[in-house]
Amino acid sequence: EKSYDFKEIEAKWQPYWEETNVYAPTNEPGKERRYVLDMFPYPSGDLHMGHAEAFVIGDVNARFWRQQGMDVLHPIGWDSFGLPAENAAIKNNTHPKEWTYKNIETQANSFKRYGIAVDWSRRLHTSDPEYYKWTQWLFQQFYKKGLAYRKYSKVNWCPKDQTVLANEQVVNGACERCGTTVTKKDLNQWYFKITDYAQELLDDMKQLEGHWPERVLAMQKNWIGRSEGAEVNFVVAAGGGKDETSIPVFTTRPDTLYGATFFVVAADSQLAVDLVAEDQVEALENYREQIKALSDIERQSTEREKTGVFTGRYAVNPLTGKELPIWASDYVLSDYGTGAIMAVPAHDQRDLDFAKKFDIPVVTVVETGEEDPAETGVATAGEGTLINSGELTGLSKAEGIAKAIEIIEKAGTGEGKTIFRLRDWLLSRQRFWGTPIPVIHCEKCGEVLVPEEQLPVTLPDNLKGEDLAPKGQSPLAAATEWNTVECPECGGEAKRDSDTMDTFVDSSWYFLRYVSPQYDGGPFDPEEMKKWGQVDMYVGGVEHAILHLLYARFFTKVIRDLGLIEHNEPFKALMNQGQVLNEGKAMSKSLGNGVDLGEQLDAFGVDAVRTTMVFASPPEDDVDWADVSPGGASKFLARAWRIANDVEAEANSDITQGDVSLRRITHRALNDVTQLVETGKFNVVVAKTMELVNATRKTIDSGAGATDPAVREAAEAIAILLSLYAPYVAEDMWHNLGHDEPVLTAGWPEIDASLLVDDTVVAVVQVKGKVKDRLDVAKDISEADLERLALESEAIQRALNGAEIRKVIVRAPKLVNIVI
Ligand code: ANZ
Ligand code: ZN
């Protein structure tokens, strides 16, 4: 008899899937559609265990919906612009595309081997001119709507990588990539005006609740950071050689105005420079030098000791008329609110720390029942009653806020205001391997969009190696031949913009491109978009919980406002897969605990690795590779596979004559799996298959079992269940069972509801009135049988402990009470 040989099976079916293109949508009219998407990979080296975990999850979803009779779009592509390719090119004296496309090919082959049910004809790469043409086109539409603009600004600059970094790429003051201390640099930079959509990005999260992980929604909400409060104007009295002026502050607590004892401006702001009294200029300058390299997070940290300098000026509290000393400190950020605050040490911890350090009075204005902050050093932020607050005294916090806003609005010294923490998206990078910004700069005409018919603006092919090394300006700025052009407006000599786009731009719309990746009349074919629209299930790592998802949501909304799509949100549902660990730790080179995916596939086969990934835990939990057994999975698959071989022609093909107990297990498994997949319990799907394999084997081994029609029914069900996560075995079994079509076109078997009805109940066995055991028994069990089972139970024997039985009361099928 033939034995299970995964290598042979893999070699047989992989080309078959490609030839039959079985994973492409069928476009049959009237079919329900589902769009399943995995976050596309970055082409660094070959696939690793993390890919294997993430992609099998999307795959189970896609395969399940397909088996449920839906038309499924499940595409793949590569996020193929980015710095590593450029660094490799500099090192190897090549063009970045060589490294990039070589790695893509390697990964594509591995994905094919891994048996992912994707439509390969839709494959895209963001570094293909056919793709980035439309990234550029979208940029231009944003520009025309005023949503892409250039601004001179201080940006985080990595002196080693010679590029701008977004705030989130600065970790503890150092470049996320190379660890070099980040400095600030003044540069003219491109931004997307995502802040215009802040409120909508927040509001539409309602549609995602229950479909996205809660923690992702919480992170998005926090990142958008909506704050309600007031803007209050403080007059700054003339002094220190400077004129009278006025400075607004943003506060969430206008109710605490009477407790403000000082005033702080962001030390690194222009405001501080403009304000400072002449005799404090030097002190301020020294201080500014000192704080230059600190990140926002460090500045705001409550751990760090507060620092600052007095500016020599005073601000007048508009409610009390009192003068407050103005300090400059780094704990106030220059780009949040107005860059200035009224400080209320009694009720704000950072202010209190500062006040303690510099001996500034602390005035409690909200009686919260807690101890005096001036004594304890702990600010009180909770509810309470206002005290020492003039016309606000006696009010609650909420009433006080409303009343204070009313007063300042009447007096014309301020107003209620809502602000957001979200900043505009800095998208320009001074690097080579990215989408060129399709703008021309002309001395006469200013910024001019590259005419649409000239798109794409392609990257030059002739730069390589050292040409790409950062030298303070973008390699494209140095490529004179490439960047010198005629101005589309006046015909004079002009320069191409030499920046490229943040790769997050490329990935903010790729899910739209997949509906028609070859379309050249626009970023996507409107007809295809009508069919597929929103992604039904998006699978990817939680590391993208903020930026990528927020940017994709922003793009979707702008593209909707351009009239190109109708939906508001890109991803209806989101699933974050867990990590694959080894011995409890993330795999890493330095720990030397990496597990090589290719080696695992060679040793155990694709299906066993996939099954192990799925079986180890629910998708969102981590998998520790040290705790799992791909060898065990391989044995299970071999057992399943043998069943298909053992099925014999039925003596009687009337399925209703088949073994009822096996049929019950089969139909229950098919029935349960629907719910299990929909609730993401993929691991239980594997357990159910195992149960069915065992039951089927038992029936086969009991004499004439192999010819029982229930065995064939079960074997087919096993192939269909396996087709969700172990595609090779499933395909081979399906064909061994005599089918000519791919298993994925089998469709979900019809479930016989009469076989789902529970024919067992739980009988409770009590000793002296206390429950000592529970037994699964047939509904129609006789009193005698139930009594016998109860007395034979080990738990009951233990409970009796040799005591003499006085009486046994049996109420079949649910209760046995033993009296001793
Ligand atoms: C007075 C006050 C009293 C404040 C009080 C808080 C508690 P969120 O919720 O994060 O928006 N603030 C305003 N602008 C700031 C800046 N640029 N850098 C640092 N802190 C700034 O926080 C708003 C509060 O943070 C504001 O309300 C302000 O302090 C401070 F009992 O004003 B508050
Ligand atoms: Zn011009």
Residue 620: predicted pLDDT: 93
Identify the residue with better confidence: 666 or 779. Answer: 666
Q: How many A from CA of 546 to the centre of ligand 1?
A: 23
- Read off the pLDDT band of 236 (50, 70, 90): very high
The verdict on the CB of residue 156 being under 6 Å from ligand 1 is no
Q: How many A from CA of 486 to the centre of ligand 2?
A: 8
The verdict on the CB of residue 341 being under 6 Å from ligand 1 is yes
- Beta strands (DSSP E) in 437-579 are 439-442, 446-449, 484-486, 493-496, 500-501, 537-540, 574-576
The verdict on the CB of residue 336 being under 6 Å from ligand 1 is yes
Q: How many A from CA of 488 to the centre of ligand 2?
A: 7
Residue 706: predicted pLDDT: 84
- Pairwise CA distance, residues 746 & 728, whole Å: 15
Q: Could you report the per-residue pLDDT of 49-60, keeping only the tens digit for each?
A: 999 999 999 999
Residue 164: predicted pLDDT: 78
195-215 average pLDDT score: 97
Give which of 82, 43, 97, 79 is closest to 463, Cα–Cα: 97
Identify the residue with better confidence: 163 or 321. Answer: 321
Query: Most confidently modeled of 674-678, 687-691, 795-799?
Result: 687-691
SS3 of 794, please?
helix
Q: Could you report the per-residue pLDDT of 694-729, keeping only the tens digit for each?
A: 999 999 998 768 889 999 999 999 999 999 999 999
Q: Could you report the per-residue pLDDT of 506-540, keeping only the tens digit for each?
A: 999 999 999 999 999 999 999 999 999 999 999 99
Residue 90: predicted pLDDT: 93
Residue 146: predicted pLDDT: 98
Cα dihedral 594, 598, 603, 606 in deg (nearest 10): 120
Percent of the chain past pLDDT 90, that is, above it, reads 83
Residue 176: predicted pLDDT: 83
How, if at all, do strands 33-38 and 71-73 pair?
Answer: parallel
Residue 590: predicted pLDDT: 81
**Amino acid making up residue 54:** A
Q: Is the pLDDT of residue 659 over 80?
A: yes
The verdict on the CB of residue 318 being under 6 Å from ligand 1 is no
- With 0-12 / 13-18 / 19 or more C-beta atoms within 10 angstroms meaning exposed / middle / buried, residue 279 is exposed
Q: Which ligand places an atom closest to the C-alpha of 259? A: 1
654-670 average pLDDT score: 91
Mutate to test the pocket of ligand 1, among 348, 350, 401 (most ligand atoms within 8 A of CB): 348
Q: Could you report the per-residue pLDDT of 481-502, keeping only the tens digit for each?
A: 999 999 999 999 999 999 999 9
323-346 average pLDDT score: 96
The verdict on the CB of residue 250 being under 6 Å from ligand 1 is yes
Mutate to test the pocket of ligand 1, among 202, 252, 270, 366 (most ligand atoms within 8 A of CB): 252
Q: Could you report the per-residue pLDDT of 727-784, keeping only the tens digit for each?
A: 999 999 999 999 999 999 999 999 998 898 877 788 999 998 899 999 888 888 889 9
Looking at ligand 1, which atom is closest to the CA of residue 331?
19
Give which of 36, 20, 23, 10 is closest to 117, Cα–Cα: 23
Q: How many A from CA of 271 to the centre of ligand 1?
A: 17
Residue 172: predicted pLDDT: 77
Q: How many A from CA of 444 to the centre of ligand 2?
A: 5
Residue 657: predicted pLDDT: 85
The verdict on the CB of residue 344 being under 6 Å from ligand 1 is yes
Looking at ligand 1, which atom is closest to the CA of residue 381?
31
Q: How many A from CA of 167 to the centre of ligand 2?
A: 35
SS3 of 83, please?
helix
264-272 average pLDDT score: 96
Looking at ligand 1, which atom is closest to the CA of residue 254?
1
Residue 754: predicted pLDDT: 87
Q: Could you report the per-residue pLDDT of 278-303, keeping only the tens digit for each?
A: 999 999 999 998 887 666 666 667 67
Q: Could you report the per-residue pLDDT of 351-402, keeping only the tens digit for each?
A: 999 999 999 999 999 999 999 999 999 999 999 999 999 999 999 999 999 9
Residue 1: predicted pLDDT: 62
Tell me which residue has its CA closest to atom 25 in ligand 1. 251
Q: Which ligand places an atom closest to the C-alpha of 253? A: 1
The verdict on the CB of residue 333 being under 6 Å from ligand 1 is yes
Q: Which ligand places an atom closest to the C-alpha of 329? A: 1
Tell me which residue has its CA closest to atom 1 in ligand 1. 251
The verdict on the CB of residue 257 being under 6 Å from ligand 1 is no
For the chain, give the mean pLDDT: 94
The verdict on the CB of residue 793 being under 6 Å from ligand 1 is no
Q: How many A from CA of 495 to the centre of ligand 2?
A: 10
Residue 295: predicted pLDDT: 63
Task: Calculate the CA 475 to chain-centre distance.
Answer: 32
Looking at ligand 1, which atom is closest to the CA of residue 250?
13
- Read off the pLDDT band of 274 (50, 70, 90): very high
Q: Is the pLDDT of residue 136 over 70?
A: yes
Binding-site annotation, residues: 589
The verdict on the CB of residue 445 being under 6 Å from ligand 1 is no
Residue 46: predicted pLDDT: 92
Q: Is the pLDDT of residue 42 over 70?
A: yes
As for the ipTM of the complex, it is 0.98
**Amino acid making up residue 556:** T
Give which of 50, 54, 63, 4 is closest to 726, Cα–Cα: 63
Percent of the chain past pLDDT 70, that is, above it, reads 98
Q: How many A from CA of 216 to the centre of ligand 1?
A: 25
Read off the pTM.
0.88
Residue 596: predicted pLDDT: 93
792-805 average pLDDT score: 90
Lowest mean pLDDT among 210-214, 266-270, 294-298, 672-676: 294-298
Which residues are 552's β-sheet partners?
A: none
The verdict on the CB of residue 418 being under 6 Å from ligand 1 is no
Mutate to test the pocket of ligand 1, among 262, 324, 335, 341 (most ligand atoms within 8 A of CB): 341
Q: Could you report the per-residue pLDDT of 426-476, keeping only the tens digit for each?
A: 999 888 999 999 999 999 999 999 999 999 999 999 999 999 987 767 899
Give which of 513, 509, 512 is closest to 548, Cα–Cα: 509
Residue 650: predicted pLDDT: 72
Residue 177: predicted pLDDT: 80
The kind and range of the H/E element at 664 are: helix 660-678
Residue 430: predicted pLDDT: 87
